[in-house]
């Protein structure tokens, strides 16, 4: 996926007069004085799983955050522990592996655990982290299915810890503008949405992403989740039914997981929208047709380079480090003890749609989303 960190969050805050409440990030927490009279420290984040997203996006983003910092790591690869400790100045006492992970409970440097593992491991490590007394960010897709998402939400509630999903686009100005345009009916009621997300997968044929037991599914779980999210946050409504079809042009490569999936969602009142996901097509767009015109994003969902227009006029918002904004927002939520705007429930809603899409692929019929 495209990545551009050309614009810092600082430049975003300076440039961005978006008039959107959701984006009012406010001053950094480090400048807050708490009721106790003590200045609040930056919260410590431990990344669990040091793969390409942790290494390529999250750790670099944590060099730009104001309210949290990279305090610890959890890895099964000792050589990575050595490299990361050196590169990011992480003390030995904040480095864990999967066997001693539970000991993180005794480490006051770690406030938040960020689960960046293959999907099949999200549930286990989210629950373990909450039980260890840590607040949790879990990457998307939240889990293998909606039932697992419910278990994760319940475990975090029971442990009285906050849970958030790594939905970085809720902090990205063009996508936030799309939410405002759609949810506030700025161009009248929405008549149609079409969206797609995907990339042409030519990577390691043995990767976890191609194994059903580890990934849950293919392009739908990994990329389609953004199209489903995009449709939901443009409308601000939950779909009630779905009909899906699929295409496999490379069945030898995508043996266990879906390659390209097409779906139609039905919303309350009868509106129907279309969406698609793929591991064999480069898509990233969201097109909305409303009563008084059109608005769209394309590229819509990457780490940077996002562009949008309203009735043909380009949106003029900066690119930001989405992950820095996302993690700083969660740090504020933890400090102020208020739910994230992307809580576990948001991940659950998407997984209910995903579950129904797989059901529809099996049945060939419209399926209810419940």
What residues act catalytically? Answer: 140, 226
Q: Does 118 bind ligand NAD (CB under 6 A)?
A: yes
Q: What angle do CA 97, 346, 298 make, to 5 degrees?
A: 100
Q: Does 304 bind ligand NAD (CB under 6 A)?
A: no
Helix axes 173-183, 225-235, angle to 10 degrees: 50
The minimum distance between CB 236 and ligand NAD, in angstroms, equals: 22
Closest alpha carbon to 98 in 116, 112, 77: 77
Q: Looking at beta carbons only, is 267 or 279 nearer to ligand NAD?
A: 279
Q: Looking at beta carbons only, is 119 or 351 nearer to ligand NAD?
A: 119
Buried b (16+ CB within 10 A) or exposed e, 76-100: eeeebbeebeeebebeeebbbebee
- Residue from 61, 90, 119, 290 in contact with ligand NAD (CB under 6 A): 119
Q: Is 264 helix (H, G, I), strand (E, B) or coil?
A: strand
Q: Does 139 bind ligand NAD (CB under 6 A)?
A: yes
- Residue from 208, 253, 262, 285 in contact with ligand NAD (CB under 6 A): 208
Q: How far apart, in whole angstroms, are the C-alpha atoms of residue 129 and residue 112?
A: 8
Q: How far apart, in whole angstroms, are the C-alpha atoms of residue 228 and residue 355?
A: 12
Q: Looking at beta carbons only, is 118 or 298 nearer to ligand NAD?
A: 118
Closest alpha carbon to 172 in 358, 1, 288, 4: 4
Burial of 32 per CB tally in 10 Å (0-12, 13-18, 19+): middle
- Residue from 50, 129, 190, 261 in contact with ligand NAD (CB under 6 A): 50
Binding pattern for the stretch 164-183 against ligand NAD, x by CB under 6 A and - elsewhere: --x-x---------------
Stretch that binds ligand NAD, among 43-51, 99-107, 125-133, 150-158 (CB under 6 A): 43-51
Q: Is 27 helix (H, G, I), strand (E, B) or coil?
A: coil
The minimum distance between CB 118 and ligand NAD, in angstroms, equals: 5
Residue nearest to ligand NAD (CB): 51
Binding site for ligand NAD (CB under 6 A): 49-54, 76, 116-119, 139-140, 166, 168, 208, 214, 222
């Amino acid at each position: 996926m495209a990545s551009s960190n050309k614009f810092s969050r600082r430049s975003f805050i300076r440039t961005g007069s978006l008039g959107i409440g959701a984006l009012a990030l406010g001053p950094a927490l480090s400048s807050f004085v708490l009721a106790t009279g003590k200045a609040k420290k930056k919260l410590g984040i431990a990344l669990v799983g040091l793969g390409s997203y942790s290494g390529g996006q999250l750790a670099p983003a944590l060099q730009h955050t104001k309210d949290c910092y990279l305090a610890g790591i959890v890895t099964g690869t000792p050589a990575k522990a050595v490299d990361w400790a050196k590169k990011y100045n992480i003390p030995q006492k904040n480095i864990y592996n999967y066997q001693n992970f539970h000991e993180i409970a005794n480490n006051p440097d770690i406030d938040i655990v960020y689960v960046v593992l293959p999907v099949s491991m999200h549930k286990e490590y989210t629950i373990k982290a909450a039980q260890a007394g840590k607040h949790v960010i879990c990457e998307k897709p939240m889990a293998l299915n909606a039932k697992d998402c419910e278990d994760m939400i319940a475990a975090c509630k029971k442990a009285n810890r906050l849970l958030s999903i790594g939905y970085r686009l809720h902090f990205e100005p063009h996508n936030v503008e799309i939410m405002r345009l759609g949810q506030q009916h700025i161009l009248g009621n929405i008549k149609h949405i079409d969206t797609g997300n995907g990339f042409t997968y030519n990577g390691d044929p043995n990767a976890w992403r191609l194994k059903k037991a580890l990934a849950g599914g293919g392009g739908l779980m990994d990329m389609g989740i953004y199209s489903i999210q995009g449709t939901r946050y443009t409308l601000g409504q939950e779909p009630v039914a779905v009909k899906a079809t699929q295409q496999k042009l490379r069945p030898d490569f995508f043996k266990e997981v879906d390659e390209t999936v097409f779906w139609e969602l039905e919303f309350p009142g009868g509106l129907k929208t279309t969406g698609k996901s793929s591991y064999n097509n480069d898509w990233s767009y969201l097109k909305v047709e409303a009563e008084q015109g059109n608005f769209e994003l394309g590229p819509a969902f990457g780490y940077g380079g996002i562009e949008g227009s309203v009735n043909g006029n380009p949106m003029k918002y900066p690119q930001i480090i989405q992950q820095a904004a996302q993690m700083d927002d969660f740090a504020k939520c933890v400090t102020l003890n208020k739910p994230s705007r992307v809580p576990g429930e948001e991940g659950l809603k998407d997984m209910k749609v995903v579950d129904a899409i797989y059901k529809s692929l099996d049945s060939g019929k419209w399926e209810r989303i419940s």
